[in-house]
Each structure stands twice: as structure tokens, then as C-alpha cells.
Amino acid sequence: MKRRWLWVGLIAGVVVLAVGGVYYTRGQQGAATPQRPRDPGLTVLFAIRTLERTDETRLSKEQIVRVLPFVKALKDVPVADDAGAIIARAIRDTFTPEQKAALETARQQFQSRAQQPQGGPPGGVGGGEGGPTAGPAGAGSAPGSGVSDEQRAQFRARAFERMIRYLERRIK
């Protein structure tokens, strides 16, 4: 009889350890998910697009002449390369204090909208202002939404091509 209880206790201990191990590793996997590095190139494109929305913050032709070679160079720099951050900083240095203030205001507005509960846009489904399809260059996909690295690279290339064409038209 004692032997039987010994076996039952041993089996129960193994089950408890196995279940605890599953929960422990499941928690570790969730915490170990790496965060994708922020793309300085897309950040610059979004900043330029934000500035171009209003006449008060629009880039001058002189600024475009200075920025365009940097944007063209940034297009070919990989996301993980430190050179991208350096080029992006050089582009941001061409912005006036008023433009930098407008970008800071836009960033704060974006963060406050991002912290609000997701109830959908008022008046129905779709992409009204601030809706899921709003944003520069049609950037409507949320991080971790199942977009592959190849799709992300294609989006990035198209966004750069569009911005370069736009800036070249603005120079003329």
C-alpha cells in the first residue's frame, strides 16, 4: 500500500513540474519577443510628409535641394545600419525651429491618439481622419500585424520612390 502511494505522489510531482515548466517557458517566450528596430528612413519620410501638409511648415526649395540627396542615399541604407540614423539626423538638422515644433506637436497628437481605446472612428467603419488607413504614404499596418519582411521592404522602397518623385517635382 505504501508503495502505491509513493507512485501516485511521484506521478503527481512529475505532472506538477511538467505543467509548471510549460507555463514558465510560455511566459519566457512572450517576454523574449524582440522589438523590431525603428527605421530612421521611414521616420524621416513621415516627418517630411507631416511638414508638407500645411503651407506654414512646408519645406522651402532650398531645404529640398539640401535634403533630396540625403533622402536618395537613405533609400539604400539598410534599416539596421547606424548610417541611417546619421543621415536622418542630418536631414532633421535642415528643419527650421518652427518645423521642429510642428513635428513635436504632431508626435504628441499621435501618441495621445495611440493611447486612446480602439473603438473605431466615429460615424462608422473605415479610414476617416486618424483611421486605420491614415498616415503618411498609406502606412496603415500595425507592428506585428503579420507583414513579412519582404512586404515591409517593398513598402519602404515604394515610400522612398514616391517621396523622391514628390521632392523632385517640388524643386521645379
Mind listing the pLDDT tens digit for each residue in 119-140? 655 554 444 444 333 344 444 4
Is 68 a member of any domain? Answer: yes
Contact 103, 50 (CB under 8 A): yes
Q: What is the mean pLDDT of residues 45-64?
A: 96
Provide the domain count of the chain.
Answer: 1
Is 164 a member of any domain? Answer: yes
Helices 82-92 and 40-52 pack at an angle, to 10 degrees, of 20
Is 8 a member of any domain? Answer: no
pLDDT at 114: 87
Percent of the chain's residues with pLDDT above 90 = 52
**Mean pLDDT over each residue of the chain, to the nearest integer:** 79
pLDDT at 38: 85
Q: What is the mean pLDDT of residues 62-78?
A: 95
Is 70 a member of any domain? Answer: yes
- Compute the distance between CA of residue 72 and CA of residue 89 in angstroms, rounded to an integer: 15
Is 19 a member of any domain? Answer: no
Is 132 a member of any domain? Answer: no
- Compute the distance between CA of residue 29 and CA of residue 23 in angstroms, rounded to an integer: 10
Is 27 a member of any domain? Answer: no
Is 44 a member of any domain? Answer: yes
Confidence label for 163 from pLDDT (cuts 50, 70 and 90)? very high
Contacts for 156 with CB less than 8 Å, ≥ 6 apart? 39, 41, 42, 79
Confidence label for 159 from pLDDT (cuts 50, 70 and 90)? very high
Contact 51, 95 (CB under 8 A): yes
Q: Quick one: which of 89, 96, 28 has its CA closest to 56?
A: 96
Q: What is the mean pLDDT of residues 80-92?
A: 93
Provide the residue range defining the domain that includes 78: 38-111+150-172
